[in-house]
Amino acid sequence: MERIREILCLVIILTTCVSCYKNDDSTYFNGEIRTIEDGIKNVKKVTLKVVPLDGANFGWLSTYDSLMFFLNPKLTDRFYNIFNIDTGKEIGTFCNKGGGPEEVSTFAPIFQFFKEGGELKTLLFAPNEEKLFVWNITQSIRQNTTIMDRIIPYTWRTENGGAPYFLMFLQNENTLITELQSFPLSDEEATLPVYQKRTFDTNKLLESYSSYKKSIKNSEASILPESFFYSNDAFKPDGTKVVQAMVNLPQLNILDVETGQTVGYRMKGGPDFTIFEGTGEIKKYYTRVQADDNYIYTLYWGKERWKHLEVPYMNIIHVYDWYGNLIQKIETDYGLDQMWIDSARDRLYLTSPKVDEVFYLDLNEVFD
């Protein structure tokens, strides 16, 4: 009988401790967090191949098959120049800067290519003009002038509390998935990063998803509120999932856009959200991400943030599947900054901050 009393007392004590324990992950994160086991013993060392380009290439990189695009801030009256990867020759410059018809003051980067009627197209968002453009790339190259198939009003300031659309993905003919990045509301607080499912033609909100429940106030944190959940994000090309590769935590969040459920995958032994509530050193982890239908490719740092004007040598790529399993580590022979995956040729295109060249990695050789 005495033994039973001891067991009951122990149960009560344990239950009380569990109920009083503050779970900071559940305070901030809107989903389950699972631990990633790093079972990769051998890092695969690779030699990058050069893409010879004949001309001034600079800026945000994107590619599709034989075409390479640069959102190039050095261009005076256009936003994009396009190169032929096979010949290295510049095809032309496109998308007009200015205040006239079909001209804008700025464009967000390209995040997706798609085809309609056999013609290659992409979406270009102009935040200042609150317009969404459908750029017909095939016809633009053919006619040597910018051809926009459609221009759709896409307001955001009022309904999104000042947070502009950034990453955009056309899921089907009339469904667009957009990302709203965190935006400062005041010196103390910022909005949460949110994904929205919207109608493509009328900009009507259909659904909204967030991986987070709340942000942190500036007075409580060692990091700015808008930087709290900063991540680099990419879509699964079939349009079913989004990966958020967190910069300030060793964690990937995978959002299922059909169910709205998010699962976080955190490296074993890595810090949790309490790191932002203290004064400890916050490291940088995933600085770039790209994805195809099979894998997620993340540029990994895992060290203290670099100093002003310092160029970190980041040459480790972590490869995950869409179930959060770390399946490969790649070490390149150059430090990296940009990444773009082209499923048409199964290549990962890369740039280096200290070398004025574009490289590529044949993905078939990574998993041979």
| Angle (nearest 5°) at CA 127 between 212 and 309 | 75
Between the CA of residue 100 and those of 95, 96, 105, 129, 308, what are the distances in Å? 12, 9, 10, 11, 39
pLDDT tens track of the chain, all 368 residues? 444 444 444 433 333 333 333 447 888 899 999 999 888 888 999 999 999 999 888 999 999 999 999 999 999 999 999 999 999 999 999 999 998 888 999 999 999 999 999 999 999 999 999 999 999 999 999 999 999 999 999 999 888 878 888 899 999 999 999 999 888 887 778 888 999 999 999 999 999 999 999 887 766 666 777 777 889 999 999 999 999 999 999 999 999 999 999 999 999 999 988 888 776 678 899 999 999 999 999 999 998 777 666 678 899 999 999 999 999 999 999 999 999 999 999 999 999 998 889 999 999 988 76
* Whether the Cβ atoms of residue 265 and residue 324 lie closer than 8 Å to each other: yes
Q: What is the pLDDT of residue 309?
A: 67
Taking phi over 0 as left and psi of -120 to 50 as alpha, with beta for the rest, 315 belongs to alpha
Q: What is the pLDDT of residue 5?
A: 46
* Whether the Cβ atoms of residue 291 and residue 3 lie closer than 8 Å to each other: no
* Whether the Cβ atoms of residue 329 and residue 321 lie closer than 8 Å to each other: no
Q: What is the CA radius of gyration of the chain?
A: 23
Q: What is the pLDDT of residue 8?
A: 41
Between the CA of residue 228 and those of 192, 218, 282, 295, 351, what are the distances in Å? 9, 10, 11, 26, 27
* Whether the Cβ atoms of residue 248 and residue 276 lie closer than 8 Å to each other: yes
